[in-house]
Structure 1
Amino acid sequence: MKTLDYIALILVAVGAINWGLIGFFEFDLVRAIFGDMTWISRIIYAVIGIAGLYSLSFFGRLRNDE
């Protein structure tokens, strides 16, 4: 389970960096690498979104650790 947590955290960080690039420089890294909404870029966006949703479970686990 810890490995899945690290993978989700890395994907969320990648998503945050991409959104930072979009916000500051109007540069979408995923679009630049994989194209404008190609099937692979849509998969990448979806996987990062799922990782973000999964990361919400960290809040519940932090509360249980106290």
Structure 2
Amino acid sequence: MRPRPLVQGFCLLCRHHKYVFWIGPVEHDRQRAPAYACEDCCAFVRAYVDQFNRQWDQRPALP
């Protein structure tokens, strides 16, 4: 997988202008806009997703 380039822009998550990665489009009410996030916010999201999935995997099996 090719790394995404850093560009100067607006981080959607922390709302600061800095170097950001494109993280995909966001959608609301059938409208779309590009979304960018800085490295710190990307690291937070990665940790959040990892923790969520670890908790999900630890659920007891259904009888």
Q: One fold, TM greater than 0.5?
A: no
Q: Which has the higher contact order (CA 8 A, sep 6+)?
A: 1
**Bigger Rg over Cα:** 2
- TM-score w.r.t. structure 1 length? 0.38
- TM-score w.r.t. structure 2 length? 0.39
Structure number having the greater helix percentage: 1
